[in-house]
Amino acid sequence: MSSYRPYAALCVFALAFFHAALNPLTAEVELRVATLAPSGSNWMSEMEKSSMEIKDKTNGRVTVKYFPGGQQGDERDYVRKIKLGQLDGATVTSVGLSMIDESIRVLELPDMFESAEELDYVADKIWPHFQAKFKAKGFRLGARGEVGWTYFLSKNKVESLSQLRAQKAWVWGDDVIARTLFANLGMNGVPLGVPEVDAALTTGKVDMCYGSPLAAVALQWYTKIKYITSMPLNFSVGATVYWEDSINKVTAEDQKTIEEIDRASSKKIRKVARKSNEDAINTMKRRGVAVVETPAQMVTEFGNHAEQIRTTLTGKAFSKQDLDLVLRYRSDHRIKRGGKPK
């Protein structure tokens, strides 16, 4: 009888092993996700809440482990590591998304939208178009997140394009919109990754950067600058992407749960980001950062350059079809609001 017990135990182990091999989706899955969002930021707080909810609603079958604050490098590093299997996903800005499919940047053309509501309408309409493109390249594009309106942040007051050109401005080397804008405006940008900007502002390597107020506060850039322009450059979005092979390790039921939580979390993040951007501007003002009212002439000149950038990037960063879709949905929104389609 005693000799039978080890044999029986071995059989049970073997059956369990073969069951797991034949049913790999029953195993627990950890999804490793990198982001530039700093620990303690509003973005990270919401992502951690969604991570806890995913673990709870899948009964521990799926956990999302975040690597915040640029621990895994810049967004280019994230996409490379995902393809190498070192990460399963990343929560990134549109710059990171553009390393998978650049056409998504059509949503961030300068002077494209008059309001966040207009952007919402267009982005909601066109998002499935981009999700299909990402899927074709092996990525699962989640619901739309948000960075917000971006502005020039500088150590020196800027009230004209000539003053703008005189600045040592940071440009994200992977940001095709910013690179094209700088080239069109005649600016000599200093290419750096996001994690390098804080040190560059401290040492004087750059005296200007750009970003949303929330990003400027979360990344501590606002402590190194004195001015922010009142004229926004564009509206910046983002999202979480997963490698299809990674997400397919999860059961279909749990994938649906993740998608539902992602949609709800992204909607909340957009709402929180808008309120937090307003709060961030007030924080900056209290710390002595002045909002510089952009003169009308500079706004007009910037708009002219924005039109040129749209022409330059059509057929390169995005197709005419992509641009036409955005313009059509934008016109629809303006007509519904009683305005001119322009």
- Burial label for 59, CB within 10 Å (0-12, 13-18, 19+), is exposed
Domain membership of residue 160 (yes or no) is yes
Q: What is the residue range of 323's domain?
A: 4-336
Residues 6+ apart with CB under 8 A from 183: none
What pLDDT does 16 receive?
40
Q: 218, 150, 213, 154: which is closest to 181 by C-alpha? A: 150
Q: What gap in Å lies between CA 158 and CA 230, rounded to an integer? A: 10
Long-range CB pairs of 160-164 (<8 Å, 24+ gap) are 160/295, 160/297, 160/298, 161/185, 161/298, 161/301, 161/302
Whether 37 is in a domain gets the answer yes
Which residues, in sequence order, are bridge partners of residue 191?
171
Burial of residue 336, with CB atoms counted within 10 A of its CB: 0-12 exposed, 13-18 middle, 19 or more buried: exposed
pLDDT in tens, 204-258: 999 999 999 999 999 999 999 999 999 999 999 999 999 999 999 999 999 999 9
Asked if residues 156 and 228 have their Cβ atoms less than 8 Å apart, the reply is no
CATH of the domain at 203: 3.40.190.170
Three-state DSSP class for residue 33: strand
Asked if residue 341 is part of any domain, the answer here is no
How many domains does the chain contain in total?
1
pLDDT tens-place values along the chain, 342 residues long: 444 444 444 443 334 444 444 444 447 999 999 999 999 998 899 999 999 999 999 999 999 999 999 999 999 999 999 999 999 999 999 999 999 999 999 999 999 999 999 999 999 999 999 999 999 999 999 999 999 999 999 999 999 999 999 999 999 999 999 999 999 999 989 999 999 999 999 999 999 999 999 999 999 999 999 999 999 999 999 999 999 999 999 999 999 999 999 999 999 999 999 999 999 999 999 999 999 999 999 999 999 999 999 999 999 999 999 999 999 999 999 999 887 666
Report yes or no on 342 lying in a domain. no
pTM of the model: 0.88
- Terminal CA-CA length for the chain: 87
Residue 37 DSSP symbol: S
Looking up tokens 């955005």 gives 326
Residue 259 lies in a domain: yes
| Residue 54 belongs to a domain | yes
